[in-house]
Structure 1
């Protein structure tokens, strides 16, 4: 029953997405344009790999922020203020199905976009197939799952759908500049690197790059090459960190998520 309700809600969310121009741009058009940024920076090398592919793999992680976190923060806020969440909660739908349906719709879109951008990288940047496809897409899926409760939590502090874009801006700036999605932090103080590496988006970037390049990006450059099996070992601590952030996100969401409109 839970799976059936989740799938139905996911299909409904996907259908509604195509009817909302702003949501369509935020979750589909803009992330694809973001992935194309790598095409402008294809010359040179960063951390021992092609700068274009370095940026592209970083964008694969950052796109999840827009597709899941930014979009769902707006969706949850609008539905709360319009009493949609209250009605859904009062129906036969469980809370898990409500969150799961929206999260599944975003994850499906995200996975398809990642596949499309990797293909673009192979054609336009002379890239290659990911060295560990299952690991790369596991990082993508877990990254999307991680952002669902975080979006639910942030929506509790967001007054309206219009203000959601502003609410998520600080998080976007912090995560984009500390995750090494666009540039390495090798020249920064050790404490800065440690803190940045512990933030939510950083492990997603590392897992995706390990899966794509077959190199251990948790180590300093030049990143040592790893086999298919060794890449799982290298990514293990980062996968655990993503799982920890999922737990943290759920705990924060349970405390701050609102099912009814804000009183002020």
Structure 2
């Protein structure tokens, strides 16, 4: 069987498991939408105009961060841990399926949710805000694609902190706390002191939200976009190297 055939088979199996679990479907599909709605109330507390911001683009970048974390990072970390504890990863790896295929196959269903959900949410925000559509859509596309790669790798790395499927939810808490606060997902970076803004620009998720927001505002130069992309690629390389070294394929003892 080819790499593509293996990938499709694993993806279908994971999709079946996802569809059978109402709790997982609620967590992946509904909670991110509810959280984005809640963040509208939070953003209304800031004087965005004084910071040179518009609510629509800010909410769209917020939606990107929330979807990546809630619909991808949290569930995928749990999926990897559960498949490890069930010895599924070990059995698959002992056959002819490549390691990367095993990991990608497990991720396909939740990865596929991200662009669909982000598109629906961002379209709704754009229509509600009445501020016009995206001016540099390619920047948002790059941000989402690289964000999916980054978060998928981070989920694989986070499994190192979880001994069982039950404490996978605890293992993601540091990322769920730090990534939104340092990327402008929950609080626009522009309201932070300038020095802190400059530091947070180089945190893992920040380039994603910056690129997505710029996709709607069109206010980012090619040089600024290149810095964001390079920053993301550096983080992706570092996290991929760490995951390749420490990811466990069988239950921890």
The TM-score, its normalising length taken from structure 1, stands at: 0.86
What do you get for the CA RMSD once the two structures are aligned?
2.1
- Structural mapping, 1:21-32, within 5 Å: 21-32=22-33
- Structural mapping, 1:96-107, within 5 Å: 96-107=100-111
Partner Cα separation in structure 2 for residue 130 and residue 12 of structure 1: 36
Cα shift at 1:38: 5.0
- Structural mapping, 1:62-211, within 5 Å: 62-186=66-190, 188-211=192-215
- What SS does the corresponding residue of 1:161 show, helix, strand or coil? coil
1:63-115 CA distance string (max 9 Å, x none)? 20122221111111111111111111112211111122233332211000011
| Residue of structure 2 in register with 1:247 after alignment | 237
| Residue of structure 2 in register with 1:10 after alignment | 11
**Structure 1 alignment gaps of length 5 or more:** 217-229
The TM-score, its normalising length taken from structure 2, stands at: 0.89
| Residue of structure 2 in register with 1:223 after alignment | none
Partner Cα separation in structure 2 for residue 91 and residue 133 of structure 1: 42
Higher alpha-carbon deviation: 254-263 or 175-184: 175-184
Cα shift at 1:2: 1.9
Residues 134 and 159 of structure 1, relative CA distance in 2, 3 Å threshold: same
Cα shift at 1:120: 0.9
Partner Cα separation in structure 2 for residue 106 and residue 241 of structure 1: 25
- What SS does the corresponding residue of 1:162 show, helix, strand or coil? coil
1:145-196 CA distance string (max 9 Å, x none)? 1111211111022011121111111211111111112323345445433332
2:48 to 22, 34, 45: 45
1:103/1:144 contact within 8 Å kept: no
Cα shift at 1:4: 2.9
Residues 240 and 72 of structure 1, relative CA distance in 2, 3 Å threshold: same
**Structure 2 alignment gaps of length 5 or more:** none
Partner Cα separation in structure 2 for residue 41 and residue 150 of structure 1: 27
Partner Cα separation in structure 2 for residue 97 and residue 12 of structure 1: 13
| Residue of structure 1 in register with 2:251 after alignment | 261
Partner Cα separation in structure 2 for residue 23 and residue 144 of structure 1: 19
1:203/1:238 contact within 8 Å kept: yes
Partner Cα separation in structure 2 for residue 135 and residue 184 of structure 1: 19
Residues 188 and 67 of structure 1, relative CA distance in 2, 3 Å threshold: same
Partner Cα separation in structure 2 for residue 202 and residue 35 of structure 1: 17
Q: How many residues align?
A: 249
2:39/2:186 contact within 8 Å kept: no
